[in-house]
Amino acid sequence: MTYENDNIFAKILRGEIPSHKLYEDADTFAFMDIMPRGDGHCLVIPKKPARNILDVEVDSLAAVARTTQKLARAVLRAFSADGVTVQQFNEPAGGQVVFHLHFHIIPRFEGVPLRPHTGDMEKPEILAANAEKIRAALEAV
Protein backbone atom coordinates (compact mmCIF):
# COMPACT_ATOMS: atom_id res chain seq x y z
CA MET A 1 0.00 0.00 0.00
CA THR A 2 2.05 2.88 -1.29
CA TYR A 3 1.16 6.37 -2.40
CA GLU A 4 0.93 6.80 -6.17
CA ASN A 5 1.89 10.26 -7.49
CA ASP A 6 -0.38 9.96 -10.53
CA ASN A 7 -3.71 9.83 -8.68
CA ILE A 8 -6.28 12.40 -9.77
CA PHE A 9 -6.02 14.47 -6.57
CA ALA A 10 -2.24 14.73 -6.88
CA LYS A 11 -2.80 15.96 -10.44
CA ILE A 12 -5.30 18.55 -9.17
CA LEU A 13 -2.76 19.75 -6.58
CA ARG A 14 -0.12 20.10 -9.31
CA GLY A 15 -2.54 22.04 -11.53
CA GLU A 16 -2.59 19.35 -14.21
CA ILE A 17 -6.37 18.90 -13.89
CA PRO A 18 -8.74 21.82 -13.24
CA SER A 19 -10.98 21.97 -10.18
CA HIS A 20 -13.51 24.28 -8.58
CA LYS A 21 -11.32 25.45 -5.71
CA LEU A 22 -13.07 26.46 -2.50
CA TYR A 23 -10.25 26.96 -0.03
CA GLU A 24 -6.50 26.57 0.22
CA ASP A 25 -3.93 27.06 2.93
CA ALA A 26 -0.34 25.90 3.41
CA ASP A 27 -1.38 22.34 4.26
CA THR A 28 -4.79 21.65 2.67
CA PHE A 29 -6.88 22.12 -0.45
CA ALA A 30 -10.69 21.98 -0.75
CA PHE A 31 -12.67 21.69 -3.98
CA MET A 32 -16.00 20.55 -5.41
CA ASP A 33 -16.64 16.86 -6.03
CA ILE A 34 -17.39 16.54 -9.76
CA MET A 35 -19.67 13.54 -9.10
CA PRO A 36 -21.67 14.92 -6.17
CA ARG A 37 -24.02 12.84 -4.09
CA GLY A 38 -25.80 16.05 -3.08
CA ASP A 39 -25.67 19.75 -3.95
CA GLY A 40 -22.60 21.30 -2.33
CA HIS A 41 -20.66 18.01 -2.04
CA CYS A 42 -17.01 18.95 -1.68
CA LEU A 43 -13.68 17.39 -0.75
CA VAL A 44 -10.77 18.30 1.52
CA ILE A 45 -7.30 16.86 0.91
CA PRO A 46 -3.85 17.31 2.42
CA LYS A 47 -1.15 18.81 0.25
CA LYS A 48 1.39 16.31 1.56
CA PRO A 49 1.18 12.90 -0.12
CA ALA A 50 -0.82 10.41 1.95
CA ARG A 51 -2.64 7.36 0.62
CA ASN A 52 -5.23 7.46 3.40
CA ILE A 53 -5.72 7.80 7.15
CA LEU A 54 -3.51 4.76 7.74
CA ASP A 55 -0.31 6.48 6.57
CA VAL A 56 -0.92 10.23 6.91
CA GLU A 57 1.40 12.26 9.15
CA VAL A 58 -0.36 13.38 12.32
CA ASP A 59 0.20 17.11 11.64
CA SER A 60 -1.18 16.75 8.12
CA LEU A 61 -4.25 14.91 9.44
CA ALA A 62 -4.82 17.66 12.02
CA ALA A 63 -4.68 20.30 9.27
CA VAL A 64 -7.18 18.33 7.16
CA ALA A 65 -9.49 18.00 10.19
CA ARG A 66 -9.41 21.78 10.76
CA THR A 67 -10.20 22.49 7.12
CA THR A 68 -12.93 19.83 7.07
CA GLN A 69 -14.62 21.52 10.03
CA LYS A 70 -14.31 24.93 8.34
CA LEU A 71 -15.88 23.57 5.13
CA ALA A 72 -18.62 21.70 7.01
CA ARG A 73 -19.69 24.95 8.67
CA ALA A 74 -19.58 26.76 5.33
CA VAL A 75 -21.71 24.22 3.44
CA LEU A 76 -24.30 24.25 6.23
CA ARG A 77 -24.56 28.01 5.87
CA ALA A 78 -24.31 28.12 2.06
CA PHE A 79 -27.14 25.65 1.49
CA SER A 80 -29.21 26.28 4.65
CA ALA A 81 -28.75 22.57 5.32
CA ASP A 82 -30.23 20.64 8.24
CA GLY A 83 -26.98 18.74 8.78
CA VAL A 84 -23.80 17.56 7.15
CA THR A 85 -22.31 14.17 6.33
CA VAL A 86 -18.54 13.81 6.54
CA GLN A 87 -17.18 10.61 4.98
CA GLN A 88 -13.69 9.17 4.68
CA PHE A 89 -12.78 5.78 3.16
CA ASN A 90 -9.61 3.68 3.44
CA GLU A 91 -8.38 1.01 1.02
CA PRO A 92 -10.59 -0.75 -1.56
CA ALA A 93 -12.34 -2.92 1.03
CA GLY A 94 -13.23 0.27 2.93
CA GLY A 95 -14.69 1.92 -0.18
CA GLN A 96 -11.70 4.08 -1.16
CA VAL A 97 -11.46 4.72 -4.91
CA VAL A 98 -8.94 7.59 -5.14
CA PHE A 99 -5.80 6.81 -3.17
CA HIS A 100 -5.00 10.25 -1.81
CA LEU A 101 -6.47 10.95 1.63
CA HIS A 102 -9.70 12.90 1.29
CA PHE A 103 -12.77 13.79 3.29
CA HIS A 104 -16.19 14.16 1.67
CA ILE A 105 -18.42 16.94 3.03
CA ILE A 106 -22.06 16.77 1.95
CA PRO A 107 -24.82 19.13 3.09
CA ARG A 108 -27.90 17.13 4.16
CA PHE A 109 -31.61 17.84 4.36
CA GLU A 110 -34.30 16.07 6.37
CA GLY A 111 -36.01 13.44 4.22
CA VAL A 112 -33.62 13.82 1.25
CA PRO A 113 -31.43 10.77 0.60
CA LEU A 114 -27.96 10.96 -0.86
CA ARG A 115 -27.88 10.48 -4.60
CA PRO A 116 -26.25 7.20 -5.63
CA HIS A 117 -22.64 7.29 -6.78
CA THR A 118 -23.20 6.61 -10.48
CA GLY A 119 -20.05 8.10 -11.96
CA ASP A 120 -22.07 10.81 -13.73
CA MET A 121 -20.39 14.20 -13.69
CA GLU A 122 -22.26 17.35 -12.67
CA LYS A 123 -22.58 20.20 -15.16
CA PRO A 124 -19.66 22.65 -14.77
CA GLU A 125 -21.98 25.65 -14.41
CA ILE A 126 -23.78 24.00 -11.46
CA LEU A 127 -20.47 23.16 -9.79
CA ALA A 128 -19.31 26.74 -10.32
CA ALA A 129 -22.51 28.18 -8.82
CA ASN A 130 -22.33 25.86 -5.81
CA ALA A 131 -18.64 26.66 -5.34
CA GLU A 132 -19.44 30.37 -5.31
CA LYS A 133 -22.05 29.82 -2.58
CA ILE A 134 -19.54 27.95 -0.45
CA ARG A 135 -16.77 30.52 -0.97
CA ALA A 136 -19.19 33.29 0.07
CA ALA A 137 -20.15 31.32 3.18
CA LEU A 138 -16.47 30.72 4.03
CA GLU A 139 -15.97 34.48 4.22
CA ALA A 140 -18.76 34.65 6.81
CA VAL A 141 -17.54 31.67 8.90
**Which residues form the catalytic set?**
102
From residue 90, alpha-carbon distances to 3, 13, 128 in Å are 13, 20, 29
Enumerate residues 6+ apart whose C-beta is below 8 A from 106.
Answer: 36, 37, 38, 40, 41, 75, 84, 85, 86, 87, 114
Q: How many CA atoms lie within 13 A of 29 on its CB side?
A: 21
Q: Which alpha helices (H) appear in the chain, and where do they start and end?
A: 8-13, 58-79, 124-140
Closest CA to 55 of 9, 3, 94: 3
